[in-house]
DNA sequence: GTGGTCTAGACCACG
DNA sequence: GTGGTCTAGACCACT
C-alpha cells in the first residue's frame, strides 16, 4: 500500500489519509480484515505526527471502514462496509452538484462527464474482471 | 436567484456562495452580462460579512465566471466562460476520485453512479431540452 | 452554568464535560440556542487544555446536542435534540444491564432501583412542574 | 455459563469479563461456592491474555463477589455478597445520572425509563418469580 | 507495543 | 476572536 500525501495541499493531511485508505479499499489493495500500520509507524513512514494519523483512523472507524481492535490496532472492517443508503446518496449528490454545475458552465456534456466517471471507475478495477471469467 | 446559505455547514460560506452562483449560471438563471447584487446588499440579504461576499466574488472573477467593474460591480462574464481544458479535467478527476472510491466501497456500480450524475445534470436543464432539437 | 470537573477521576475530562453539559440541558439551565463559552475561555475557566474542551464539543456536536456555528462558536442545538429511537434504547440497555446486574447481586429490588431512578429524575426537574399549573 | 466478549468494544475486556460474571451471578447461573474456570483455561477459551482474566478475577475478589483460594482457584463467594450500602448507592447514582440526563434530553419520561429498568430486571429473573410466592 | 488521553504551543481559515 | 489543523512530547490503560 503506497500512500501519497501532499503536505502542501489545502486538503488536510488526515483527510488525504482517509481518502488514500478508502481508495486502497476500492482498489482491493486493502482487503477486509487486513491490518493497517500502527499510528506510530505510519506517522513515521509519512513523516507526520501520530495524532494526525490517529484522527484519520478515527474517522474511518466512525464511518465503518475500519475497526480499531484493542490489541491489534486498526484493521480494515472484516465483515461489511457501510451501504449506499439514502442518506449517503443525498450526501453524494450534495458533493457532486457543485462539480457538475461547474462542468456544465464549462460546456461539458453529460456524456463527457460520464466518460470521465467511467475512466475513474476503471482505475479502481484493473485486473479484476478477468479473475471471474 | 435564490441563495441558500447554511451557516452550520462545514463548507465555508464564501465557498457556498461561489457554488450557488455557479449553479445559477448552470441553471441559466444567471445569464451572461447580468449584474450580481452589490457586495453590500448581498451581505445584508444573507446576514453575513461584507468580506465574505467580496471573497466569493474575487474567486469567481479569478476563475473567469464574473467580471468586476468599478461602476457596475460584479456581472456574469458577458463573453466566454472558462473551458473544460486539460488542466480543469485533471482537477475534476482529483475531486471525483475520492467520491467514486467511496461509492465503490459502498457497493455502488458504475451504472448507478452514472444515473445519479444524470439526475443532477437534468436538474440543471429543466425546460431547455428542446433547445438542442 | 456551573461545571464540576474532577481532574483525579478515572473518567476522562472530556467525558465529564460532555456529561456536565448534557445534565445542564436536562436541568434546563442550558436552553436551546444558548451559546456555550468558547473553547479557550472554558479551558481557561477550568484550568484545562483547549483541545480537551474541543473534543467534548465535537462529541456533543456529533451527537446532535450542540451546533458549532462558524462565527458564533458552539451553541445548544436550537431546534431538536436526538430522539430516543430504537438504536438509542438498545445502547441504553447495554449501559444499564451491568449496573442492574450488580444491584441485583447486592440484593436491591426492582422497586428500590426505581426509587433511585425517580430520585435522579426529580433532581433534573426541580421547579418545573409548578410552572405548568 | 456463556461469556460474550466483544474485542471491538470500547469497554476493556477485563471489565466485560467482570460484567459477564456479575450478570451470571444475578441470573443465578453462577451459584455461591461454584468454581470459576481457571485463569488459564478461561484465557484460552476466550483467546485473550492471562493477565486480562487475572485482572478481572482480582477486581471481583476486591469487590467481594469471588474468593480466590490457592487450591480451588476462584470461586463465587460462598457466604455473602456485598450489600447495597450507602456508599454503593452513591456510586450507583453517580453512574446513573449521566444516563438519565441523556434520557431526559431525548424526551424519555420517568415512566418509560422505569419500564426499561423493569425489562432488564426481568431478564435476570426468568423462571424464578414463583420463589417469592 | 498498542491506542487513549492530556498538555502546550503554533499557524491558519473564517468571518 | 472563533474553531480547525498540526506538531511535539508525555503518561497511562490495555493486552
Question: What's the first-to-final CA gap in chain A, in angstroms?
Answer: 26
Residues of A with CB under 8 A from a CB of B: 19, 22-23, 25-27, 65, 81-84, 88-89, 92-93, 95-108, 110, 112-114, 116-121, 123-125
pLDDT tens-digit map of D80-107: 888 889 999 999 999 999 999 999 999 9
Give the number of other CB atoms < 10 A from CB of residue D128: 10
Question: Taking 60 as the threshold, does the pLDDT of residue A61 lie above it?
Answer: yes
Our measurement of CA A3 to C1' F12, in angstroms, reads 31
Q: Are D83 and C107 in contact (CB under 8 A)?
A: yes
Residues 6+ apart with CB under 8 A from A6: A16
Check whether residue D27 and residue D67 sit in a common domain: yes
Q: Are C48 and C40 in contact (CB under 8 A)?
A: no
Task: Identify whether C4 is part of a domain.
Answer: no
Residue D28: the pLDDT is 93
CB pairs under 8 A between B and C: 9
Residue A127: the pLDDT is 57
Nucleic strand E within 7 A of Cβ A73: yes
Task: Identify whether D72 is part of a domain.
Answer: yes
Given a cut of 50, the residues of chain C with pLDDT beneath it are: 131-133
Residue B128: the pLDDT is 62
Check whether residue B103 and residue B72 sit in a common domain: no
**Cα–Cα distance measured from residue A78 to residue A61, given in angstroms and rounded to the nearest whole number:** 12
Element of type H or E holding A74: strand A73-76
Q: Which residue of B has its CA nearest to A84?
A: B106
Check whether residue A30 and residue A71 sit in a common domain: yes
Check whether residue C68 and residue C20 sit in a common domain: yes
Structural domain that includes position C49: 13-76
Q: Which residue of B has its CA nearest to C66?
A: B8
Nucleotide nearest to A35 (CA to C1'): E2
Given a cut of 70, the residues of chain B with pLDDT beneath it are: 1, 127-133
Our measurement of CA B52 to C1' E5, in angstroms, reads 37
Strand E proximity: list residues 77-116 of C with CB under 7 Å. Answer: none
Residue D109: the pLDDT is 95
- Tell me the mean pLDDT per 10 residues along chain D, length 133: 84 93 94 92 90 92 89 85 89 95 95 96 75 44
Q: What percentage of chain A carries pLDDT values higher than 90?
A: 74
Write the secondary structure of chain B as one string of H (helix), E (strand) and C (coil): CCCCCCCCCCCCHHHHHHHHHHHHHHCCCCCCCCECCCHHHHHHHHCCCHHHHHHHHHHHHHHCCEEEECCCEEEECCCCCCCCCHHHHHHHHHHHHHHHHHHHHCCCCHHHHHHHHHHHHHHCCCCCHHHHC
DSSP D66: E
Check whether residue A56 and residue A92 sit in a common domain: no
With beta carbons under 8 A apart, name residues in chain C contacting B13: 70
Residue C78: the pLDDT is 86
State the helix-helix crossing angle for D50-63 and D13-26, rounded to 10 degrees.
50
Of C19, C92, C107, the CB nearest to D116: C92
Task: Identify whether A29 is part of a domain.
Answer: yes
Q: Locate D29 and state its grid cell.
A: 447461573
Nucleic strand E within 7 A of Cβ A114: no
- B in contact with C (at least 3 C-beta pairs within 8 A): yes
Check whether residue B22 and residue B66 sit in a common domain: yes
Q: Which nucleotides of E are covered by protein (CB under 7 A)?
A: 1-9, 13-15
Model confidence band, residue A1 (pLDDT cutoffs 50, 70, 90): low
Q: Which residue of A has its CA nearest to B120?
A: A97
With beta carbons under 8 A apart, name residues in chain D contacting C92: 99, 103, 116
Distance to chain A for B50, nearest Cα, Å? 23
Check whether residue D72 and residue D20 sit in a common domain: yes
Q: Are B86 and B80 in contact (CB under 8 A)?
A: no
* Final residue of a structural domain among D76, D95, D117: D76
Check whether residue A67 and residue A98 sit in a common domain: no
DSSP C83: P
The closest alpha carbon to D69, from D36, D21, D26, belongs to D36
Selected for mutation to probe chain B from C33, C70, C75 (highest B CB count within 10 Å) is C70
**Cα–Cα distance measured from residue C4 to residue D97, given in angstroms and rounded to the nearest whole number:** 14
Angle at alpha carbon of residue B77, lines to B73 and B83, rounded to 5°: 150
C80: left (phi over 0), alpha (psi -120 to 50) or beta: beta
Task: Identify whether D81 is part of a domain.
Answer: no
Element of type H or E holding A68: strand A66-69
Q: Are A69 and A40 in contact (CB under 8 A)?
A: no
DSSP string, D2-56: -----TTSSS-HHHHHHHHHHHHHHTTSS-TTPBPPPHHHHHHHHT--HHHHHHH
Distance to chain D for C86, nearest Cα, Å? 12
How many angstroms separate the most distant Cα atoms in chain C? 53
Residue D1: the pLDDT is 67
DSSP string, C100-131: HHHHHHTT--HHHHHHHHHHHHHHTSTTTHHH
Our measurement of CA A132 to C1' F14, in angstroms, reads 43
Nucleic strand E within 7 A of Cβ B20: no
Number of domains in chain A: 2
The torsion of the CA quartet C124, C126, C128, C131, rounded to 10 degrees, works out to: -170
**Cα–Cα distance measured from residue B104 to residue B110, given in angstroms and rounded to the nearest whole number:** 8
Residue D82: the pLDDT is 84
Contact B117 A96 (CB under 8 A): yes
Q: Are A23 and B97 in contact (CB under 8 A)?
A: yes
C64: left (phi over 0), alpha (psi -120 to 50) or beta: left
Check whether residue C52 and residue C91 sit in a common domain: no
| CATH code: domain of residue C41 | 1.10.10.10
Task: Identify whether B70 is part of a domain.
Answer: yes
* Final residue of a structural domain among D39, D56, D76: D76
Q: Which nucleotides of F are covered by protein (CB under 7 A)?
A: 1-9, 13-15
* Final residue of a structural domain among A33, A58, A76: A76
B37-40: long-range contacts (C-beta < 8 A, 24 or more apart)? B38/B73, B39/B73, B39/B74
Task: Identify whether C62 is part of a domain.
Answer: yes
Check whether residue C92 and residue C68 sit in a common domain: no
Average pLDDT, chain A: 90
Check whether residue D52 and residue D105 sit in a common domain: no
Under DSSP, is residue C69 helix (H, G, I), strand (E, B) or coil? strand
Task: Identify whether B3 is part of a domain.
Answer: no
Contact B83 A97 (CB under 8 A): no
Our measurement of CA C49 to C1' E10, in angstroms, reads 14
- The mean per-residue pLDDT over the stretch A35-60 comes to 93
Q: Which residue of C has its CA nearest to D102?
A: C22
Check whether residue D70 and residue D99 sit in a common domain: no
**Cα–Cα distance measured from residue A108 to residue A110, given in angstroms and rounded to the nearest whole number:** 7
Task: Identify whether D3 is part of a domain.
Answer: no
Nucleic strand E within 7 A of Cβ A39: yes
Amino acid at each position: 500500500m503506497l500512500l501519497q500525501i501532499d503536505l502542501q495541499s489545502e486538503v488536510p493531511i488526515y483527510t488525504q489519509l482517509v481518502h488514500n485508505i478508502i481508495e486502497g479499499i476500492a482498489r482491493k489493495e486493502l482487503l477486509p480484515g487486513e491490518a493497517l500500520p500502527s499510528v506510530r509507524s505510519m506517522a513515521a513512514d509519512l513523516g507526520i505526527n501520530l495524532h494526525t494519523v490517529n484522527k484519520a483512523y478515527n474517522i474511518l472507524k466512525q464511518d465503518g471502514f475500519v475497526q480499531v481492535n484493542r490489541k491489534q490496532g486498526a484493521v480494515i472492517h472484516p465483515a461489511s462496509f457501510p451501504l449506499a443508503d439514502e442518506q449517503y446518496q443525498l450526501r453524494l449528490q450534495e458533493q457532486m452538484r457543485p462539480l457538475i454545475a461547474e462542468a456544465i458552465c464549462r460546456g461539458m456534456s453529460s456524456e463527457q462527464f460520464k466518460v470521465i466517471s467511467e475512466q475513474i471507475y476503471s482505475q479502481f478495477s484493473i485486473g479484476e474482471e478477468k479473475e471471474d471469467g
